[in-house]
Amino acid sequence: MSNVAEMSSPQINPGIDPNTMSIIVTKGSLDWAYPPFILGTTAAAMGLEVTMFFTFYGLNLLMKDLDLQVSSLGNPAMKMPMMGMHMGMPNIVSAIPGVDAAASKMMKNLMKKKGIAPIAELRELAVEADVRLIACQMTMDMFEYGQGDMIDGLEIGGAATYIEVATQSHINLFI
Amino acid sequence: MADQVLDAKGLNCPLPILRAKKALKSLQGGNTLEILSTDPGSVADFAAFCRTTGNELVEQNEEDGVYTYLIRKSG
């Protein structure tokens, strides 16, 4: 039986270039936008060939007009520095209309103050560095996103497209 | 004296690295780039950047919260 398992296992390419990385990007809020774009641009700067595959809410990060928001609802770890301490927000307050918008504005102000790049800038740097950006066809269809809503230079693909990339990448991350 | 100076003061991760990479691109192999940064995380990051890319971290200093790196481009 072990022979059968061996025979049916996928072909592993022993000669994978160590300087290759793929990232699956599944989240589209302001906070979750950072890890994939920071790692993608930095890896590219360090000479890696990088592919980012955007699916579900990750597609939000490919829109021409970025309006990223963060929510403190259901996020007990989100404690913002305020008046010399760190304050979290009870869910009942987070649920009030306008609170997310205020929290998002506050986080963007903090980022600006701390010299953190806006996502639009990191995304532009990713494009400049020839990071391969693939948008997931199925979720684009589901959310009724057209390519016209999204930045230029994207590839469109599905699961098999990503898996092929992953078999040729030394580092594969899911964010 | 470095061939080029990059002032990355006030910038946070990963911008000092990304700007340094861009500046190195315009340099000839063997030439040097001096980078000024106020990001304490840049100490570990420039060391890792140089180890991975093969560029040489010739010198590094810290004075009054400003980190200075001298990198010689490989090749």
Per-residue confidence of chain A (175 residues) as pLDDT tens digits?
Answer: 555 555 565 566 668 899 999 999 999 999 999 999 999 999 999 999 999 999 999 999 999 999 999 999 999 999 988 889 998 889 999 999 999 999 999 999 999 999 999 999 999 999 999 999 999 999 999 999 999 999 999 999 999 999 999 999 999 999 9
How many domains, in total, are found in chain B?
1
Q: At what angle do helices B15-25 and A30-45 cross, to 10 degrees?
A: 30
pLDDT digits (tens, 9 = 90+) for B4-49: 999 999 999 999 999 999 999 999 999 999 999 999 999 999 999 9
Domains contained in chain A, CATH given? 18-66+119-174 (3.40.1260.10)
Please say if B13 is a catalytic residue: yes
- Residue A117 DSSP code: P
Q: How many CB atoms lie within 10 A of CB A54?
A: 24
Q: What CATH code is carried by the domain that includes residue B16?
A: 3.30.110.40
Q: How far is B49 from chain A (nearest CA, A)?
A: 6
Cβ-based contacts of A46 with chain B (< 8 Å): 17, 21, 49, 52-53
What is the maximal distance between C-alpha atoms in chain A? 66
By the 8 A CB rule, do B35 and B62 touch?
no
Ramachandran angles phi, psi of A139, nearest 5°: -75, -30
pTM as predicted: 0.90
Distance CA A115, CA B48 (A): 21
Supply A68's token pair: 């990223």
Full domain range(s) for residue B16: 4-72
Distance CA A28, CA A67 (A): 10
Residue among A46, A114, A115 minimizing CB distance to B49: A46
Residue B75 banded pLDDT, cuts 50, 70, 90: confident
> Can you tell me the ipTM of this complex?
0.90
